[in-house]
Structure 1
Amino acid sequence: MIPRSAVGRPEKADVVGASALVLVYAAACALVLAGKFDHVSDDDFARVTIAQSFVHAPKLDPSGTSWLPFPFWVLGAALAALGRSLTTARAASVAFSALAAAAPYFALRRAAGAPPLRAAVAVTFAMLSPWSLWLGASTVPESFTASFTAAAAIGLAGSGALRGSSAWFALALFAACLSRYEPWPVAAVLALCLAWRAVKAIREGIPPTSASFVIIALVVLGPLGWMAWNAHAHGSAVHFFHRVSNFKRAIGEGSTDTLGALLLYPRLLVAMRPDVLAAAACALPLLRRPEIRRAWSVPLLCAAAQLAFLAYGNARDGAPAHHAERALLGIVFILAMFAVDALGSTLPALATRARPAVYALMALLVVGWLMNLRPLFGEDIPATPDAENRDAQVAAGRALAADRVEHVVVTPCAYEHFALIAAYGAPERVTILPRSGAPVTPSCPNVERR
C-alpha cells in the first residue's frame, strides 16, 4: 500500500531520513578521498577538462564522443558558478552524487510503501560499499546514475496509475539515460510496462491523462534523443556503440571468447557484492507474497535486463573498456533495496516462530556487508597505484594556474596529461601534441610554457 506521503508534501520523517542519507554518503565519500583513494582512472580528469571546456564554449554535446552529455551539463553548471578548478569539480561531483542518494529513498517510501527506517537501511546497505564510494568520490557519473536508475525502477514500477508525482522518477531516468548506457534497458522495460498499464486502463474504460503520456515520453526520450543526435551528428544512430567497440579492438581488448565475455558481468557481480546477492537470494521466495511481488517484480526485471544488456554488449565489444564493475552499480542498488525491503517486511513476523534462525540469518548478512567494506581500509583500491598516481601532474597544473601562464603546450606519454590540464583549469589554452608512447612517469607530460 502506498503511504500518504505518496501524494502531497513529504512527511517530516522523509525529509529527516533523506537528509541523513545525503550527509552520511557525502561524509563517507569525503573520508575515502582523505585516505588513499584519488581517482578511478584518467577518465576522471578527462571528464573534468570537458566540463571546463563546456563552460568556456557551451554546446549540446560537450564531449563529441560516445560519452553522454548530462554529466557535463551538470558539472559545467557548477564550474560556471563556482570556478573551473579541479577542487570545485571534485566537491561538486560528491555533492551531486550525495544528493542523488535521496532519490531511491523517496522511491521506497512513496512507491514501495517502506517505512522510513527500512527505506533508510535499504539505501545504506546499497550505497555503503567500496565501488559505490569510490565512484561517488570521483568525477564520474556512475554513482548518481545508479541512484536515479534504481529510483525510477522502483518508483515507476510501483506507482500504479501515473500521476504528476511520477514525473520526478521519469526525469531521474531521463538524466540517467543521458549519463550512462546501462540504464537504457531499464527505460525499455519501464516504457513497455507503463504502456501496457495505459492500454489496460483504456480497456477498462479509464481514460489516460496527459501526465501519463508525458511520463512515458520522458522514459524513452533519453535513448531515442541520443540516437537521433548521433544520426544527425555522425551519420549513424549507433555511432557511439561503434566508437566504443572499435576502440576496444584497437587496444587489443576485443572479445575472442564469446562465452567468457557473456559470463564476465555475472561473475563480476558475484565478486563485487556477494553480500547483496546472498541477501537477494534469501528474499526471492518472498515474491510469493502479493504485495512484495507487486512492488518488486518490475524492478527485478529491470535489473535482469541491465545484466543481460551488459553481457551482450561485452560480447560485442561495446561494454566499458576498464573497471567493468562500475557498470553494475545500478543492478546492485536495486537488488540491495529489494533484499532489505522484502526481508524487513517479513522477518519480524517470522522471528516469533523461528527466532534463532532469523537472528542467525541477519548476523550472516551483517557480517557479509562488513566484510564487503574491508577493501576501503586495505591496499586493494582500484585506482592510484604507483603506475597511475597523478599527484605530480596535478601539482604541475596548479603551478601553471598559480603562475597565470597564458598558454601551455603538452606532449603526453599516454593519458596522464588530463590530470595536469584539469588542475590548470583552462583547456582552451592548452595545445596537445601527439602522445610519445613512453612509459608514464611523474615527469610526464612534457610541458612548454608559452
Structure 2
Amino acid sequence: MTRQKFRLPVGGLIDRLQSIEFRFDGKRFEGYEGDTLASALLANAVRLVGRSFKYHRPRGIFTSGSEEPNALVELREGARREPNTRATVTELFEGLSACSQNRWPSLRFDWRAINGLISALLPAGFYYKTFMWPASFWEKVYEPQIRRAAGLGRASSRADPDHYEASWHHCDLLVIGAGPAGLMAARAAARSGARVLIADEQARFGGTLLDEPVVIDGVTGVEWARVCIEELKTADNVTLLPRTTVFGHYDHNVLGAVERVNDHLAEPPPGQPRQRLWHIIARQVVLASGAMERGLSFTNNDRPGVMLAGAVRSYVNRYAVAPGESAIVFANNDSGVRTVRDLKAVGLTVRALVDVRSNVDSAVRAELEDTGTQVFDNSVVLRAHGTTQLRGARIAPRGGGQGVDLD
C-alpha cells in the first residue's frame, strides 16, 4: 500500500482517525473518511486517471465536482459494476474498487495513443467515409472495433442485485443547492412556517463554504454552515436531502430528483434501496446551485496536472491534499490571487501568477513577489509541458513577444 505523499499534515474536513483502504487499477491505496475517490488518488500521487475518447491523450483530474470531464472510472465489480462514474463525486468507502477505462493494455502504456500521431488522418466522421466496403463488414467488423477503441467503460451483463424506490413529496419551497445562498433561503422560509425541502448533490451541505477559508458573522464558513444546518435539521417543517441531484423541472412546478441513498456503501443494507427517485411538487423553487468555473484555453490544457483554480482550493482546504509540489496559477479574475494565497498558506510553492489583465494591484504584486512568486500581468500561458505528468509551462505577453519557460 502506498503512502499518502501529497496529504497535508493538518487541516481539511476529513477524519484522519478513520482510514479507508481502496483499489485503483488493482493497486491498493489508503484514504480517509470524507475523501472522494479523486482526492484520495491525488493524496497518493496518482495523477493519470484516464484517456481521451478518440486520441487517447492522457487525462488527469480537472475539477472537484460533478462537472468533471476526465476522471471517469469503472466502479465496483461483478453485477454492481458501473462505468463512467466521476471520481470527483464518488465518496470513498472501505473496499472500493475502481479501474480506469478506455485504454489498452494499461493506463500508462496505451497503444491506442498512436491515434494522436496520425490525427490528421482521423478527422471527424472519418469512419463513415472510410469503412464503406464491403458493406457487410460495417456491422460485423468495423463498428465493433471502432466502438471497442473509443468506448467509455463496460456495463455489467449480470442482473442488478439492488432495488430502487420512487417517492412523492409536496412542499411550499424547494431549494436546489445547499451552499450559503441555499442555506439562507431555506432558513428564512422555514422561520416563516413554510414547508421546505432542500436538496444538494453532495453528501455534506455547505457548498463553497467547505472549500474556501471565508468568515461569516465572525465565524468560519464551515461553522456558520454547521449552525444553519443544525437549525434546519431540528425544524419540523424542513426536509433535507443530501446526495440528491435535481435533474428536471417540468410543467406546474413538478421536479424530478435522484437520491443516492446508499451509493456511498459497498452494497445497500438489507431492505434499503440503492437509489430513490423523487417526484417533487413545489409551490416555489429557488435555484441556488452556484456557478461552474470555466477553464482557460492553451495548448495541452488537458494534461494531467492542469486543474481549475476552484478545484485546487477545494482539494487544499476541504480534503487537505496538495495538488502538486509547485504551481503556476493562470487567471483572468481575482480568484487567482485567492488560489495563490491558499497554496502558500499550506506551505506550497507558487512559481508564478499569470494574469491576462493589465496592471495587477501594486500591493498584491509586492505581497506575492516578496514571498517568491513572480507576477506576469497582461500575459497568458501558451503551452503546458509534459505528457502523463505536468512539467512546466511557457508564458508570454498577450500581444506576442519573447516567452519564458517555467518548471
The bucket for the TM-score relative to the shorter chain is under 0.3
Decide which structure has greater helix share: 1
| Structure ranking higher on relative contact order (CA contacts 8 Å, 6+ apart) | 1
Decide which structure has greater strand share: 2
Q: Structure 2 length normalisation: TM-score? A: 0.27
